[in-house]
Amino acid sequence: MLSRTDAKAAGSKIPAGRLTLTDFDLTLPALGLLVLFFVVPVAILLARSVSEPVPGFGNYAELLGSSTYLRIFANTFLVSGLVTFVSLLIGFPVAWALAVMPSRFASVVFAILLLSMWTNLLARTYAWMVLLQRTGVINKVLIGLGLIDKPLPLVNNLTGVTIGMTYIMLPFIILPLYGVIRKIDPAILQAAALCGANRWQSLVRVLLPLAMPGMAAGALMVFVMSLGYFVTPALLGGTANMMLAELIAQFVQSLVNWGMGGAAALVLLVVTLALYAVQLRFFGTDRMGGR
Amino acid sequence: MRKILALAATAATIATAMPATAADLVFSSWGGTTQDAQKISWAEKFTEKTGINVLQDGPTDYGKLKAMVEAAAVTWDVVDVEGDYAAQAGKNGLLEKLDFSVIDKSKLDPRFVTDYSVGSFYYSFVIGCNKDAVDACPKSWADLFDTEKFPGKRAFYKWSAPGVIEAALLADGVPADKLYPLDLDRAFKKLDTIKPDIIWWSGGAQSQQLLASAEAPFGSVWNGRMTALAQSGINVETSWEQNITAADSLVVPKGAKNKEAAMQFIALATSAQPQADLAKATGYAPINLDSPKLMDAELAKTLPDAQTASQVNADMTYWAENRDAIGERWYAWQAK
């Protein structure tokens, strides 16, 4: 939501007076759709969390009082954190390279990035399975080269989930970072060098602080998306690495225990909204796309 | 996989209950090759006979079925579900009683008939093994749980359902006739001994992939999937020792719009020839006692029907009563 000062600063045509309903008239169909097909069903599911099987907060007590479920929460944060960290580590150099390379090369790299985003998620995840499994391509090559004797456990565990999800999240960190880095005037880095900064110092004291808004926006986005991820952890993780979304699916579909499913969904929703609030508070909506 | 795909469908149904076209019958099953075979062996025959069009839907999703019944907007007329779920859902008032004046149950395998459901087909959990990948194949459940004699990963069914717990108890030396009530403490203790060596499969195709690629060279799998692997030229061995049977069931959700047509559909689907056709296409066993006679003798030999000597029947009534409790414990144990 744009605040009035933001709107003014952006030179928008939104009148400075109080916003009225008619200012949103074009968004009404979309809002209506969201309310009908998202807000209402979610509200119903959440209502069930305090009404089934008996009214009260029993489901929440069970959810937050059980070591099994707490471990799943912890694992959800661990995986999301790891994926965010590795994405940044890999994404930053790529975004930097994209920003400085000649545009005809950059457009090829972009095409590769976008193509991977447009490929079916399931197909991509299965491809990782084929690559990572014990009898998969990577292990066969490593054994063939004599580097290892026994296949490395790369899938059905934390490693598999992290690799698979990082790969899917990379574009979401590279694109905002690219936007921010490209706007950094190369002359600033030259100035840093002229003032005696070595390459490491220019990176840590000049480039990174300037790129920070893009890094933070991308990292938050990846973290929040990872929290609710389902398909990749289900396929590449073992049962000991279960994430929250899988737990919700299990409650809703296998155990047909909607009370617990609703409770778990609310916890995930609250965490996600809290992080989103942090993002809005510190970066605003206009930075989210890295513009 | 089927559960993963079903998730989106659940969300959609909780949100909306869309009306079905009254003239058509809607049949829901698990997708893949099994539903293709049900379409050809049952649905097309039914349309030929009655003129009623059968729409295929799926995958079956228990959350979705419950949502439909509660919202009184049932779009499925006949649903293929797991046997233990059928028994439980019948008790919980989610299903219509079947009309046995339309469905002839005299020829149906009584193991799979209740007031609310009849068998759809039945299968066995057997010990499948990729012979090219290992020196020796496990023959018994005890072998499959013996990681010293048979090192390597083993594949097991991921979801809480009859099969794995029974296998663990049999492996631990519980006599087949003393399985129920299931000693869960003992079963999980036995499962703990091989937990790091288990790769879970969540759908039939995945079990085939695991065995064929030798990612898990052996495991507990549905018999029909081994037949299919053998047909595709992979050197597999199936041990039927103490094969554990479980069945899918056909049910009619409470408030189904085409109840009468649904009964007729089930009557046809469970009759001898369509059951034989389905068995031929899938490698699962017919639940109509007259079907094996209609089948090629060679083929009939590969079905669980021919393996009754050391067969163990999963107790669906027990599972129906304890499904929720076992499920919660099962998933909590898996997540540890």
Q: Do residue B128 and residue B242 come from a single domain?
A: yes
Residue matched to tokens 């559909």: B265
- Residue A254 and residue B213: Cβ atoms within 8 Å? no
Residue in A closest to B153 by C-alpha: A134
Q: What is the mean pLDDT of residues A140-161?
A: 91
CA–CA min distance B332, chain A (Å): 6
Q: Of the candidates B246, B261, B289, which is a domain's last residue?
A: B246
Contact A133 B14 (CB under 8 A): no
Q: A42-46: list long-range contacts, CB under 8 Å, 24+ apart.
A: A42/A265, A42/A269, A44/B14, A45/A258, A45/A261, A45/A262, A45/A265, A45/B14, A46/A262, A46/A265, A46/A266, A46/A269
Confidence label for B5 from pLDDT (cuts 50, 70 and 90): very low
What's the CATH number for A57-287? Answer: 1.10.3720.10
Q: Model-level pTM?
A: 0.79
Residue from B202, B198, B210 nearest B167 by CA: B198
The answer to whether residue B322 sits within a structural domain is no
For residues B134 and B275, state if they share a domain.
no
Question: What range defines the domain where residue B87 resides?
Answer: 2-122+247-313
- Amino acid sitting at position B136: A
CATH number at residue B298: 3.40.190.10
pLDDT at B255 over 90: yes
Would you say residue B291 lies in a domain?
yes
Q: What is the mean pLDDT of chain B?
A: 90
Q: Does A36 touch chain B (CB under 8 A)?
A: yes
Among A280-289, B119-128, B153-162, whose mean pLDDT is lowest? A280-289
Do B96 and B135 fall into the same domain? no
Q: Are residues B220 and B267 in the same domain?
A: no
Tens of pLDDT, residues B216-254 = 999 999 998 898 899 889 999 999 999 999 999 999 999
Q: Per the structure, how many domains does chain B have?
A: 2
Residue B16: inside a domain = yes
Do B129 and B242 lie in one domain? The reply is yes
Burial class (CB in 10 A: 0-12, 13-18, 19+), B222: buried
Domain match, B85 and B99 both = yes
Contact between B283 and B119 under an 8 Å Cβ cutoff? The reply is no
DSSP 3-state percent helix, strand, coil across chain A (nearest 5): 80, 0, 20
> B82 to chain A: nearest residue by CA?
A254
Using CA atoms, how far apart are residues A2 and A25, in angstroms rounded to an integer? 16
Closest Cα partner for A96 from A180, A170, A17, A22?
A180
Asked whether residue B74 is assigned to any structural domain, the reply reads yes
From B7, B158, B335, residue closest to A249, measured CB to CB = B7
Compute the average pLDDT of residues A43-51: 90
Nearest to B63 among A38, A247, A253 (CB): A253
Q: Where do the structural domains in chain A lie, given as residue ranges?
A: 57-287
User: How far apart (Å, rounded) are the C-alpha atoms in residues B31 and B1?
Assistant: 10
A45 vs B: CB within 8 A: yes
Q: Hey, is the C-beta of A254 within 8 angstroms of any chain B C-beta? A: yes
B111, B32: one domain: yes
Place of tokens 């030259």: A190
Collapsed DSSP state (helix, strand, coil) of residue B19: coil
Cβ separation of B10 and A253 shorter than 8 Å? yes
Given this model, what pLDDT does residue A45 score?
Answer: 86
Q: Do A255 and B332 touch (CB under 8 A)?
A: no
Same domain, B143 and B169: yes
pLDDT of res. A3 = 43
Would the ipTM clear 0.85, i.e. be above it?
Answer: no
Other beta carbons within 10 angstroms of residue A11's beta carbon come to: 6
Instruction: Band the pLDDT of B12: cuts 50, 70, 90.
Output: very low
What is the SS3 assignment for B128? Answer: strand
| pLDDT tens, position by position, A248-269 | 988 888 888 889 999 999 999 9
Q: Does residue B127 sit in the same domain as residue B234?
A: yes
- Same structural domain, B202 and B297: no
Helix (H) or strand (E) holding A231: helix A231-236
Cβ contacts below 8 Å, chain A against chain B, sum to 75
> Average pLDDT of B139-147?
97
In a domain, B325, yes or no: no
Chain A residue numbers with beta carbons less than 8 Å from the beta carbon of B6 are: 253
Asked if A231 reaches chain B (Cβ–Cβ under 8 Å), the answer is yes
Q: Is the pLDDT of residue A204 over 80?
A: yes
Q: How far is A90 from chain B (nearest CA, A)?
A: 29
